[in-house]
Amino acid sequence: MAVKITTLVENTSFQSELKAEHGLAFHIEANGTSILFDAGQSDLLLHNAKKLGIDLMHVDVVVISHGHYDHIGGLSAFLDMNRHAKVFVKRAIFDKKYRGTSRYVGSDVDIRDLGDRLHFVDQVEEVAYGVYVIPDIPIVDPKETHMSGFTVKHNDQFAQDWFEDELFLAIATSSGMALVSCCSHRGITNMIQAAQKRFGKPVRVVLGGFHLLNAGDEEVDRISSYLETLNLEKLGVCHCSGLDAYAIFKRNLPKISYYSSVGSRLLLS
């Protein structure tokens, strides 16, 4: 099985022809299936995809990790040009999301009118050969979650956002599983344990945003110590992980860590 993952949208770009924004989107090619995992916050993904030689018209499957603006905002631009891709989300994607009670961090992208193109993920689903959407993330370790300060609004009342809309991807590889997360609000270590329990295979690759932007060194050290026990082959860090956290990962796991900026590509076999 050959899989190629390209970072389409991310906070940083080191290539002059590619643009960056606060957000994340991955393009995944898996055995003839074209997948878009998140869409950034604007139409920027269209520009970067063109520059990278990726035809978004051929995308078959879209997966949205959760309902924050920097992950779903670009979906409108994508849907304006791609009229056939199925969109996979959890039902809680429609929650009105806030930071505190004043800053709206959700999105006004309306996907309710997609008809049978809209697919709600209630259980593990294989969206391409060897590529699975994981909707259930039990919180085994509460210390590893990143939900503080985030709320949802229902009937003019605010409540803690438990990120019931969050999901991630697990991809079968020759040596185990690759895990792709876009924000890890429910905790990257909790996601890894969910994948291990579901498939009974070791996680060998971890890629994504880990929401460690404001984390202390001790927390990042603790997570990197856990990751070290997995004998990872690759650790791709980006977006809400923060550059300071990346520096710690690179120090602690120098042989496998890399920063997945716009245009970065990861090959899996």
Instruction: Name residues of the chain where pLDDT drops below 50.
Output: none
Range of the domain at 209: 3-268
Q: Say what the pLDDT of residue 60 is.
A: 98
Q: What is the CATH number of the domain that holds 206?
A: 3.60.15.10
pLDDT at residue 3, as a whole number: 97
pLDDT number for residue 28:
98
User: What are 127-130's contacts with CB under 8 Å, separation 24+?
Assistant: 127/33, 127/35, 127/61, 127/63, 127/88, 128/28, 128/30, 128/31, 128/33, 128/35, 128/60, 128/61, 129/1, 129/30, 129/31, 129/33, 130/1, 130/3, 130/30, 130/31, 130/171, 130/172
**Number of structural domains the chain divides into:** 1
> For residue 228, what pLDDT is reported?
97
